[in-house]
Structure 1
């Protein structure tokens, strides 16, 4: 027998996770020197805010009265997202390390979103979790592409040039 999931609790947790991810990317962008890497992290921060908005629209809890006020509040430094970037900043911070950390966080988040979506019986709620999982996967791919550029790897758009029969 499956344990019934607290739908509103899962949505509330997802709003907070997306905010934590947004704060992660904002802080990471401030530490970077490579302009293209900064732009990627700034884009990701904006998109995480949009993801939180998707969840907020279906949230029925009364503890978040104003979305913008909630999202603009100081970061939760105890969150796994913020703890991870803070640790990276206090060690030898590089764009490479930030990208590796971001890819790991995005993969874990995508998996959690897909698992939660599978437990949702309400089609609207399930579709929001699935949408965010897909967008999270897209984030991973964006970061992976930027990581390849930073590491001077062959970019996927140039792969055909290097493939030999």
Structure 2
């Protein structure tokens, strides 16, 4: 594997950790139990995503995955800087969910762009898997956002359309 590919994998491990910390911090500020559970679930899944990348990383600059992920959050990361701005102003579930939607959309795009440039089928598959799972995160957050905002849930859409 090329050094550039290994750097892309290393960057992805860091990004997934940043996303995990984003959701952990967001969850700790939420008053709505369902929204908090959503962010807790997302934090757990971001941890799993980091593990997918860690398994294919050939560098030796990281301690164990657990030690790396359990280290303090990088406050300078884009994920944490964004969350800290929301927390510093007037934290609401709505604001945190809107921010999460933006972050997940950008991450999915970046993962797909990176996957498109990778020749190694096994590594490409990890990036594509994480892109799909990131898209699923977007859908989950979108659904939770609709609930928090009191919007019609997609499962009730037919009922409202027929009436």
TM-score (norm 1): 0.96
Alpha-carbon separation, structure 2, partners of 1:12 and 1:109: 15
Q: Return the offset for 1:164.
A: 3.4
* Counterpart in the other structure of 2:143: 145
> After superposition, what is the alpha-carbon deviation per residue over 1:85-124, rounded to whole angstroms, capped at 9, x for unaligned?
0000000110000000000000000000000000000000
* Counterpart in the other structure of 1:44: 42
1:71 to 55, 69, 80: 69
* Counterpart in the other structure of 2:53: 55
> After superposition, what is the alpha-carbon deviation per residue over 1:30-89, rounded to whole angstroms, capped at 9, x for unaligned?
000000000000000000000000000000000113000000000000000000000000
* Counterpart in the other structure of 2:28: 30
Q: Return the offset for 1:146.
A: 0.2
Structure 1, unpaired ranges of 5+: none
Which structure shows the bigger proportion of residues in helix conformation? 2
* Counterpart in the other structure of 1:154: 152
Aligned pair count reads 162
Alpha-carbon separation, structure 2, partners of 1:56 and 1:5: 15
* CA contact 1:5–1:119 (8 Å) conserved in 2: no
Q: Return the offset for 1:5.
A: 7.7
Partner-residue secondary structure (3-state), 2:74: coil
User: Which stretches of structure 1, 4 residues or longer, exceed 4 Å deviation after superposition?
Assistant: none
Q: CA RMSD in A?
A: 1.2
* Counterpart in the other structure of 1:10: 8
* Counterpart in the other structure of 1:116: 114
